[in-house]
C-alpha cells in the first residue's frame, strides 16, 4: 500500500497557504482520500487492515503531493556507509551517530530547495527513510521492525561548509527546505539489498546499496529508543552512501531507491524564493469583485 499526503491542484492555484492537506491511498494513478493519517491509532470501530476512504478518488495529476509525514522529529544517522565516512575523512563511528533535523526543514516532491546565501557549499545526500508507526521506547534489536509503518525517500541536504565550521550539525542540516521527503510511504517495501542513487541534472552522483549499511535498521532503532521516545509518524533517515557532492541554484536533484520510486527537487536561490513568496502573496489578495462594497 502506498500512502500520500496532498492538496488538490486547483486549491493551490487559488492560495496554497489556505489549502488543507489531506491523506490518500495511491492505487495506480488514482488517489483515494483518507479520513486521517493512516499511521495514527485507529478508532475501535475501524478495520485494522484498510484505512477509511473519505471521498471520491482523484487523478494523480489533479493533486500536488506533499511530504507524506508530519513528524514530531526527524532522526538521522550519520556515517552509516563506510565509503561515505571515508570520503569525508571520518572514522566509522563505534555506535550509530545520531543527529536531528527540524520538521520545518521538510519539503515534498518537486518543491524547491533554497540555497542559503550564507553558505558556499550545499550537498545532496540520498537516503532511505523509515516511517515509525507507533510510540516506542527501549526497543530490542530483534523486534524493532514491528514499529515500522513503512518507507519513503529522503534527501538530507547539507550546507557542508557550515557543518564543518560550526563543529556541530544543527545549522548545516537544519535550513528550511533541507529535507525533501516523498513521494509516498510504501508499507510493503522490503529495504534489503536496494540500490540508492542520486542524480544531479541527470548525472549519477551517488550509487550505493542498503546492503552496505554499517548499522542495521534494528540496531539503529534499538540505539535511538534507549534515549528517545519515537512517536507515530516520526522519520528515521538511515544514512547516505558515498558520492555526496555540491549543487547550485538551477540544478535538479533526483533521489532514486530501487523498488520505492524517485524524489526530485530543484535548487533555487534565496532571491528566487523571495520572488515566489511575493507571487503567492499577490495571488492570495482578493480581487476587486470580492470586496464587500
Residue where one domain finishes, among candidates 10, 32, 66 = 66
Please check the confidence at residue 130 and state whether its pLDDT lies above 90.
yes
pLDDT computed for residue 293 by the predictor: 45
Residue where one domain finishes, among candidates 66, 87, 120 = 66
pLDDT in tens, 52-82: 899 999 999 999 999 999 999 999 999 999 8
Same domain, 266 and 228: yes
Q: What CATH code is carried by the domain that includes residue 163?
A: 3.90.850.10
Same domain, 48 and 137: no
Same domain, 152 and 227: yes
Same domain, 122 and 219: yes
Per-residue cell: 182: 516523498
Percent of the chain past pLDDT 90, that is, above it, reads: 82
pLDDT in tens, 225-238: 999 999 999 999 99
Burial class (CB in 10 A: 0-12, 13-18, 19+), 252: middle
Same domain, 57 and 80: no
Please check the confidence at residue 165 and state whether its pLDDT lies above 80.
yes
Same domain, 53 and 86: no
Same domain, 127 and 155: yes
Q: Name which of 2-16, 71-85, 143-157, 162-176 the model is least confident about.
A: 2-16
E strands, the chain, where?
Answer: 2-8, 22-27, 30-34, 58-59, 63-66, 74-78, 97-101, 106-107, 113-115, 122-124, 126-132, 148-155, 158-159, 179-186, 195-200, 203-209, 235-237, 245-247, 252-257, 261-269
Please check the confidence at residue 276 and state whether its pLDDT lies above 90.
yes
Same domain, 88 and 191: yes
Please check the confidence at residue 51 and state whether its pLDDT lies above 90.
no
Same domain, 36 and 115: no
Instruction: Give the domain range for residue 163.
Output: 74-279
Same domain, 152 and 235: yes
Same domain, 267 and 176: yes
On whether residue 291 sits in a domain, the answer given is no
Amino acid at each position: 500500500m502506498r500512502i500520500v499526503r496532498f492538496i488538490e491542484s486547483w486549491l493551490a492555484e487559488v492560495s496554497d497557504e489556505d489549502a488543507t492537506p489531506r491523506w490518500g491511498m495511491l492505487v495506480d494513478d488514482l488517489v483515494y482520500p483518507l479520513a486521517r493519517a493512516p499511521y495514527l491509532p485507529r478508532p475501535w470501530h475501524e478495520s485494522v487492515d484498510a484505512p477509511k476512504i473519505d471521498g471520491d478518488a482523484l487523478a494523480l495529476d489533479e493533486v500536488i503531493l506533499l511530504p507524506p509525514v508530519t513528524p514530531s522529529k526527524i532522526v538521522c544517522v550519520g556515517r552509516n556507509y563506510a565509503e561515505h565516512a571515508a570520503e569525508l575523512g571520518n572514522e566509522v563511528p563505534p555506535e550509530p551517530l545520531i543527529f536531528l533535523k527540524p520538521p520545518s526543514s521538510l519539503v515534498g516532491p518537486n518543491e524547491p530547495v533554497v540555497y542559503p546565501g550564507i553558505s558556499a557549499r550545499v550537498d545532496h545526500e540520498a537516503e532511505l527513510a523509515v516511517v515509525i508507526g507507533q510510540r516506542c521506547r527501549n526497543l530490542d534489536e530483534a523486534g524493532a521492525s514491528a514499529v515500522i509503518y513503512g518507507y519513503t525517500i529522503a534527501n538530507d541536504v547539507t550546507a557542508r561548509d557550515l557543518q564543518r565550521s560550526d563543529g556541530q550539525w544543527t545549522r548545516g542540516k537544519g535550513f528550511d527546505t533541507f529535507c525533501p521527503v516523498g513521494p509516498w510511504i510504501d508499507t510493503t517495501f522490503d529495504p534489503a539489498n536496494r540500490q540508492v542513487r542520486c542524480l544531479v541534472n541527470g548525472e549519477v552522483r551517488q550509487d550505493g546499496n542498503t546492503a552496505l549499511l554499517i548499522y542495521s535498521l534494528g540496531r539503529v532503532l534499538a540505539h535511538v529508543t534507549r534515549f528517545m521516545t519515537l512517536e507515530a509518524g516520526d522519520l528515521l533517515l538511515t544514512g547516505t552512501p558515498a558520492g555526496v557532492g555540491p549543487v547550485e541554484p538551477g540544478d535538479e536533484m533526483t533521489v532514486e531507491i530501487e523498488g520505492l520510486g524517485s524524489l526530485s527537487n530543484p535548487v533555487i536561490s534565496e532571491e528566487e524564493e523571495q520572488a515566489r513568496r511575493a507571487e503567492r502573496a499577490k495571488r492570495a489578495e482578493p480581487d476587486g469583485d470580492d470586496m464587500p462594497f
